[in-house]
Structure 1
């Protein structure tokens, strides 16, 4: 792609992020309220913000609806210290399939991906994009090796090839491969296609936990 066309495509992606995230925040405002009420019943705190790696390796706080018990990070440290199987699972994928910290409403929000709606604020601020690699924890960077520059070259996304074509059913190496291929072969119109199929994947709810 010529440099001028690439710049136009990148600018179009950012404009799309701003316009759609603003519209979706307004559209989903009633749903935000319902989620907030249900979450509040499970304990203090409606939102959860955690450190993630963004474009150019910058750290930002990724926003979600709280799906876990309060002080979940402290609970995680205790769980991993006393359960070797859970520790191996966490070190392999940075997720726990049957995470005991997740609340009842949290399980529903995760299964439907509604817990990620607050990330629209990250998109509006320019920390994330609607489409891109899954936001990673700081400790994940070493797993990417030399491929990490692909991740650094773009904004992480609310949805993307990994979220659509595998989610948590894929191993970590496949996750890296899918995201590297996305960055290497990126186009604005491919983003539009990924956005178009995202609602269908969320309704099917496969691979989410």
Structure 2
């Protein structure tokens, strides 16, 4: 496959064609089938050597390239040499690089991220997630470039402050140990109440459009996600292009699920997400893919530059109120992204407790 002619003068997340060059032996078939639509211009390299030669000849006209590189124990040194050469050169240091690991290896992942690789994926690799991540990274790179033209300051990507991370680890660990008897009781009740798994796992988009597995106690009947389109006319956030989806008296919710949702007990497994580092205790709620893809405009994408959180401004100030608009929720997310601090986090944590019992069934 060869590059197409692309006009880079305009940028829209939905329609722009992204240049992707890749080396992948084990993932070649999956990668090609995932990027076969017209949104991507793809070029394949059959060996690390040819990819190295290509990257060494990059010029200013190649800075829109995005690299996907398969890395295995056999080619680790060659791949890292490519990464180091690109990241150590002022011209190519901002090129997006995603590594596809043939086997999980924390040492490789740590080294890659330290060198400035945009992301690393361990097998089995969900290429639909890779595509979403790649489009956001490309959009954010474009946004950073536009901001630098307006403001002569360095724009840093979000990195969780050490104090905030320590607070997350401490409180989530204590909470998980203390609540373990409740977890066991709820698991038993869910199995008795309806057919299906105890936990509900879905893909969510968090900080920097990072996609991760999001955990909840199951409060809906099995395969409830398949009914979203049918129920969209009852969405609390009105409008065909509404970014968020939530309905009152959701018919998909089980009898026990109503109690779990109204008491917010269904959210407790996300303490595992906090412990893993996918989320923070306080932040903007991570969104399902179908919601997140509607929030990549310049006005609203700022929410993804803040930590994803178990609780946040939305939960303590507007949740469950009939007069809450989609725009108000977006503005709360953007406000937190611009103003979060350890003191604001503590204030939100203390205000979350009385906000847990909500009146509206949403």
TM-score range, shorter chain: 0.7 to 0.9
Task: Tell me which residue corresponds to 2:206.
Answer: 54
1:88-167 alignment, distance < 5 Å = 92=242, 93-141=244-292, 142-143=294-295, 145-167=297-319
Matched, 1:172 2:323: no
* Selected match of 2:233 from 64, 85, 110: 85
Does the CA contact (< 8 Å) of 1:52 and 1:136 recur in 2?
Answer: yes
The alpha-carbon distance between structure 1 residues 25 and 171, as it changes in their structure 2 partners (threshold 3 A), is same
Q: Which has the higher contact order (CA 8 A, sep 6+)?
A: 1
Task: Tell me which residue corresponds to 1:187.
Answer: 341
Structure 1: runs of 5+ lacking an equivalent: 1-6
> Number of residues paired by the alignment?
198
Distance 2:251 2:328 in 1: 26
Task: Tell me which residue corresponds to 2:190.
Answer: 39
Does the CA contact (< 8 Å) of 1:9 and 1:187 recur in 2?
Answer: no
The alpha-carbon distance between structure 1 residues 88 and 189, as it changes in their structure 2 partners (threshold 3 A), is closer
Shift, 1:118, TM fit: 0.2
Distance 1:200 1:88 in 2: 23
Shift, 1:187, TM fit: 1.1
Task: Tell me which residue corresponds to 1:4.
Answer: none
Distance 1:162 1:96 in 2: 16
Does the CA contact (< 8 Å) of 2:200 and 2:216 recur in 1?
Answer: yes
Moved over 6 A (4+): none
With normalisation by structure 2, the TM-score equals 0.51
Shift, 1:162, TM fit: 0.3
SS of the equivalent of 1:167 reads coil
SS of the equivalent of 1:99 reads coil
Structure 2: runs of 5+ lacking an equivalent: 1-157
Shift, 1:44, TM fit: 2.1
With normalisation by structure 1, the TM-score equals 0.86
Shift, 1:208, TM fit: 5.2
SS of the equivalent of 1:181 reads helix
* Cα offsets for 1:86-139 (capped at 9, x unmatched): 368685331121211100000111111110000000000000110001111222
Which structure would you say has the larger Rg?
Answer: 2
Shift, 1:189, TM fit: 0.7
Does the CA contact (< 8 Å) of 2:237 and 2:326 recur in 1?
Answer: no
Distance 1:208 1:143 in 2: 25
Distance 2:183 2:197 in 1: 14
Does the CA contact (< 8 Å) of 1:9 and 1:188 recur in 2?
Answer: no
Answer 1 or 2: which has greater helix percent.
1
Does the CA contact (< 8 Å) of 1:131 and 1:156 recur in 2?
Answer: yes
* Cα offsets for 1:146-195 (capped at 9, x unmatched): 14442222221110000110114221111110111111111111101111
Does the CA contact (< 8 Å) of 1:113 and 1:208 recur in 2?
Answer: no
